Chains A and B, each alone.
Chain A
Amino acid sequence: MPEIAPRTVTLRLNQQQLELLDRTLPRAGVTDRAELVRLALREAAEQEAAR
């Protein structure tokens, strides 16, 4: 299987969505928004694989 290249994705988020992300940071044990998004992606992929 060919390697997939790293890439940067741009999310558009409003002030309410950002507020929820910021309140979630300590609960998820991460310190910045992008790290939280990557955590969500990895955990969602794990759940998908476990299904």
Chain B
Amino acid sequence: MTRTLISEEIIAPGTGKAIELLKGQVLRIEQVEGGQCVDFNAFNLHDYKEFMHCGRTRTVHGFNPSAGTFLWSAPPRENAMMYFLADTVGRNDVLFPRCSAFLYESAYGFHDHTNCHDIQAEAQREYGLTPDDVHDSFNFFMFTEVEVGGTVKIDRQSSKPGDHVELLALMDVLAVPNVCGADVMRTSNFSLKPIRVSVFQASAEDLAQVPALPRLASQRTPAQFRNPTIKATRELTRDPAYRPEFTNAPIREETLEVALSGEEAAMLDRLARRELYGDDDGAALRDVLFSWWETRFLTAANGAPSMETDAAG
């Protein structure tokens, strides 16, 4: 099975396009002139309440996700929605939210200006979504860096014509790429350029690249929600019948007595983080215990579902 082209279009500056991408199809987002940031969102095509979540994605894959990573949906779904198949540049951003009209008004004095929030909203309006349904975007080709001290800076990008990213849909999604509206920032080297978007039926080689993922009990569906009904009114009013059912609440502590030999007591004195726990030996030993557990048993770094271990249950 070779890759076959299903559709191709040019997305003009100032615009975006909602694209139905079915499971097993590949979306290629390609530079035409080079140097253009592309903001991107994705929704489960059959349940728009499940959407790609940059927070989840950057927790699992870091600040600059590239080929070989997944685009995850928000809790409590936390499904791998898309697999990042190819990336000829290797520079993307998941730190910045989509740019918005507020930014261009407050910082630059524009009354009207192209901005990714409004472009996303206008593109997804084709599917009945509202401006409140736009989520933080995955920003392809955007060059950002975290500096010592925690500030984040945007820099110019070096993508060239033909540079592209490719995303394989692991579920049916509504994919929404847009040409970032930032022409007065360095994000897209101070100009707005068109982008080519192509949809392919994935080849067997494409599909074979996707690492196996476990299916976990915590990857929930609305059928498991205590309230599965999407709220249809804007006003928030209290449900008089509400009774809280928080998981594992109330949290109850018990005491565990641990007898230490003189040698072990000396070990604790060496390891104890007194700057945090003072002379509270119990708290210091609890820290030693769970820190040890992490180094010995933790395989799912930063909460990423481990690709090595099997799903529990």
- A interface, CB within 8 angstroms of B: 3-18, 20-21, 24, 27-28, 33-34, 36-38, 40-45, 47-48
The answer for the CA separation of A45 and B264 in the assembled complex, in Å, is: 9
Chosen A-B contacts, 11 in total, with CB atoms closer than 8 Å, are A5-B262, A9-B285, A10-B281, A11-B285, A13-B255, A15-B252, A18-B254, A24-B293, A40-B292, A43-B292, A44-B292
Q: Give every chain A residue within 8 A of B257 (Cβ-Cβ).
A: 8-10, 34
Which residues of B have CB within 8 Å of A33? 256
Chain B, residues 100-132, CB within 8 Å of chain A (1/0): the string is 000000000000000000000000000000000
> Are A37 and B254 closer than 8 Å at their CB atoms?
no
Are B286 and A42 neighbours in the complex by a CB distance under 8 Å?
A: no
Whether, in the assembled complex, B291 has its beta carbon less than 8 Å from a beta carbon of chain A, the answer is yes
A41 touches B256 (CB 8 A): no
One of A4, A13, A40 near B265 (C-beta < 8 A): A4
Asked if B291 and A44 sit within 8 Å, CB to CB, the answer is yes
Could you tell me if B248 and A15 are in contact, using CB atoms closer than 8 angstroms?
Answer: yes
Residues of B257-293 contacting chain A, CB below 8 A: 257-271, 281-283, 285-286, 288-293
How many angstroms from the CA of A5 to the CA of B266 in the assembled complex? 9
Q: A4-B262, A9-B258, A38-B260 are in contact. Are A44 and B253 (CB under 8 A)?
A: no
CB-CB under 8 A from B268, the residues of chain A are 9, 41
Q: Describe A's contact surface by its main secondary structure.
A: helix
Interface: B226 (CB within 8 A): no
Verify B269–A4 contact, CB threshold 8 A: yes
Let me know if A43 and B296 touch, CB within 8 A. yes
**Residues on B with beta carbons closer than 8 Å to the beta carbon of A16:** 248, 251
B255 and A41 within 8 A (CB) = no
Number of interchain pairs (Cβ within 8 Å): 115
Knowing A41-B285, A43-B292, say if A11 contacts B266 (CB, 8 Å): no
Residues of B within 8 Å of A14, CB to CB, are 251-254
Please indicate the chain A residues that have their CB under 8 angstroms from the CB of B285 in the complex: 9, 11, 37, 41
B225 in the interface (beta carbon within 8 A): no
Contact of A8 with B253 at beta-carbon distance under 8 Å, contacts A15-B248, A44-B288 already known: no
Q: Contact at A37–B289, with CB atoms within 8 Å? A: yes
How far, in Å, is A45 (CB) from chain B's closest CB?
A: 4
How far is B260's CA from A42's CA once the two chains are assembled, in angstroms?
11
Residues on B with beta carbons closer than 8 Å to the beta carbon of A7: 259-260, 265, 281
CA distance A50 to B50 in the complex (A): 47
- For A12, the closest partner residue in chain B by CB is B253
With both beta carbons as reference points, the residue of chain A lying nearest to B295 in the complex is identified as A47
- A residues in contact with B267, CB < 8 Å: 41-42, 44-45
* Most B CB within 10 A of own CB, among A6, A34, A40, A42: A40
Judge whether B258 and A13 touch: CB under 8 Å.
Answer: no
A15 and B285 alpha carbons, distance in the complex (Å): 17
Q: A18-B254, A44-B291 are in contact. Are A12 and B265 (CB under 8 A)?
A: no
